[in-house]
Structure 1
Amino acid sequence: MFQRLFDFFNRFSRNWRYGLISLVLALAIGFTNIQPSYGISWLELMIRGIQVVQLSNISNAQEVALGKEINQELLSSGQAKIYNRSRSITSYIDQIGQRLAKTSQRPDIPYTFQVVDDDSINAFATMGGYVYINTGLIKAADNEAELASVVGHEIGHIVGRHSVEQMKQRAISQGLLSAAGLDRSNAIQIGVELAVSRPNSRSDELEADRFGLDNMTKANYAPAGILGFMNKLLKKGGSGPSFLSTHPATSERIKVLQQKIDPATANSGNGLDNRAYKNRISSL
């Protein structure tokens, strides 16, 4: 009798183990078959111990951490050479940026504003609150309201999480997105490429303009600044500043902004004193 009971439990134990192994294999196969066109599988990522970023539901903390790594790569690779000849300029840009960040639609993340030592008229941003303003753009602006309009626009891209969506689309097109997400090293590389090339769509630009204008108004900057800066750049002619070449449909954007700004209050607010601004950036 005892022998029969032993045989029964032994068979049960073997069957239980086989069932568990079968279940694990079935789950592994199921995971690897999710979105087969998206690069390496869940199982392979787990085996190789690769850190991944799940872009579809990335948290604020994860976005800021990834933005920090992208920023570090931009700086270490020399693709963003930080201006360090005048602490007053760096402090001034940060002051404007932090003022706008507080009244933006995403004030709950830390923002880092950096001056890039480059005479081209340009500005860009990457995820997680990192904004870059070229010295050439600072000098091209006539007043603080014009400069604030550019900073507000770049914050608008961060508010709209445009870099996150662009990264997702780039990863899909390159076959790098797996069922688990995006390999972190690939995410950093794509983030750097996007920051440098700035391939913003028409809808992204219009949304960033809308966020930026709203932000300027809440921060008590004169809305006329955004129109003054964009019209000035359009009048330069020729190939135009790189800021405009990477931001399509500028004439359409100006028309949309004109419809949103009341001429009677366009000059209401701070930042229109040209002389004070030129004195503030004289060290450039």
Structure 2
Amino acid sequence: MFQQLFSLFNIPKTYYRRFIYAFTAVCVSISINLVQAQPSFSISWLDLIKSGLQVVQISNISKAQEVELGKSINQELISSGQAKIYRNQSIEDYITQIGQRLAKTSQRSDIPYTFQIVDDDGINAFATMGGYVYVNKGLIAAADNEAELASVIGHEIGHIAARHSIEHMRESAVKQGLLSAAGLDRSDAVQIGVELAVSRPNGRSDELEADRFGLDNMTKANYAPSGILGFMQKLLQAGGGSTPSFLSTHPATSERIKILKELIDSKTANLGDGLDNRAYKSRISSL
């Protein structure tokens, strides 16, 4: 039937073969879903075809797809009010300046990065896939100098570089029964991404890896590595025994500090930029 139609409209045979290959691939995908799909994530073949371009293959997501998905997650975080962005051009420019300096020397400098300030006095920071980093206004105020703030931003870039959110998204989709043979529906992917950004379910290995990536990043960007230790130790002491939300993830902050001390050469810990407390307080005075 298809061959007759192609002949009728005088379409070259090469295009006919390409069509047959594509049509066969779609049929195979549909048959796999019909045979293997669980009731919890069953989907009609018409819906599958309609949403074909909206399906995300988490296991082998491309760089462009990750960036686009991160953009959608960011838009949902903002529009839903879960990330209320703080508008202060001077502070925004300063955070972007620090962030882009770190992005250039990060383990994933090949993607665009966006740095935003959350209008929240809590001491917190988080990141989503595709280069989106969020820093609370309260954390900026809590830092004593630029090196301390850079250590936090570098840590969040480390999570992006290690693609932690992508792995967590895959795990979450499997647990919720949303992952089919065709992949993960884009709308579900965005919703999971928002949930992950808010809950920040990073475990021991993720946090330690982000710490190592962040330390390496800030060192390459010529920030004094002692900034990462100063920030963690100061927050623990100021907390009166309670751990700030930014540090309340597994592993214990004391373990993270111990490991970082082993990685930092005490002779060069204070070499680099960002240790001028007075200059930093001046830069964030409009906060």
> 1-side partners of 2:231 and 2:27: how far apart?
61
Tell me the residue number matched to 1:204. 206
Contact 1:167/1:190 (8 A) holds in 2: yes
Q: Closer, same or farther in 2 for the Cα pair 1:218/1:37, shift >3 Å?
A: farther
Tell me the residue number matched to 1:75. 78
> 2-side partners of 1:221 and 1:283: how far apart?
24
> 2-side partners of 1:35 and 1:192: how far apart?
26
Tell me the residue number matched to 2:161. 159
Structure 1 letter corresponding to 2:61: I
Deviation of the 1:37 alpha carbon:
7.8
Q: Residue 132 of structure 1 aligns to a residue in which SS?
A: strand
> 1-side partners of 2:231 and 2:272: how far apart?
16
Tell me the residue number matched to 1:181. 183
Q: Closer, same or farther in 2 for the Cα pair 1:24/1:118, shift >3 Å?
A: closer
Q: Closer, same or farther in 2 for the Cα pair 1:42/1:164, shift >3 Å?
A: farther
Contact 2:98/2:150 (8 A) holds in 1: yes
Q: 2:256 aligns with which of 233, 242, 253?
A: 253
Deviation of the 1:88 alpha carbon:
0.6
1:61-210 matches, cutoff 5 A: 61-84=64-87, 86-210=88-212
Q: Residue 200 of structure 1 aligns to a residue in which SS?
A: coil
Deviation sequence 1:227-258 (CA, Å, 0-9, x none) = 00011111123433210124542111111101
Tell me the residue number matched to 1:3. none
Give the RMSD, CA atoms, in angstroms: 2.2
Q: 1:278 aligns with which of 277, 281, 284?
A: 281
* Bigger-Rg structure (1/2): 1
Q: Closer, same or farther in 2 for the Cα pair 1:98/1:27, shift >3 Å?
A: closer
Contact 1:216/1:222 (8 A) holds in 2: yes
Q: Closer, same or farther in 2 for the Cα pair 1:88/1:247, shift >3 Å?
A: farther
Tell me the residue number matched to 2:221. 219
Q: Closer, same or farther in 2 for the Cα pair 1:137/1:129, shift >3 Å?
A: same
Tell me the residue number matched to 2:31. 29
1:32-71 matches, cutoff 5 A: 32-34=34-36, 36=38, 39-40=41-42, 43=45, 45-49=47-51, 51-71=54-74
Deviation of the 1:38 alpha carbon:
7.6
Q: Closer, same or farther in 2 for the Cα pair 1:47/1:197, shift >3 Å?
A: same
Tell me the residue number matched to 2:19. none
Deviation sequence 1:115-163 (CA, Å, 0-9, x none) = 1110000000000000000010000000000000000000000000000
Deviation sequence 1:8-66 (CA, Å, 0-9, x none) = xxxxxxxxxxxxxxx99787434433464882358465245351110000011000000
Q: Residue 104 of structure 1 aligns to a residue in which SS?
A: coil
Question: Please, what TM-score do these two structures have when normalized by structure 1?
Answer: 0.87
Unmatched segments (≥5 aa) in structure 1: 1-22
Q: Closer, same or farther in 2 for the Cα pair 1:25/1:48, shift >3 Å?
A: closer
Contact 1:99/1:219 (8 A) holds in 2: yes
Deviation sequence 1:167-199 (CA, Å, 0-9, x none) = 000111111111111111111001001001111
Contact 2:29/2:181 (8 A) holds in 1: no
Q: Closer, same or farther in 2 for the Cα pair 1:270/1:43, shift >3 Å?
A: same
- Percent identity over paired residues: 73
1:225-236 matches, cutoff 5 A: 225-235=227-237, 236=239
Structure 2 letter corresponding to 1:239: S
> 2-side partners of 1:209 and 1:33: how far apart?
44
Contact 2:118/2:135 (8 A) holds in 1: yes
Question: Please, what TM-score do these two structures have when normalized by structure 2?
Answer: 0.86
Tell me the residue number matched to 2:11. none
Structure 1 letter corresponding to 2:110: D
Q: Does 260-269 or 242-251 show the bigger shift? A: 242-251
Q: Does 211-220 or 232-241 show the bigger shift? A: 232-241
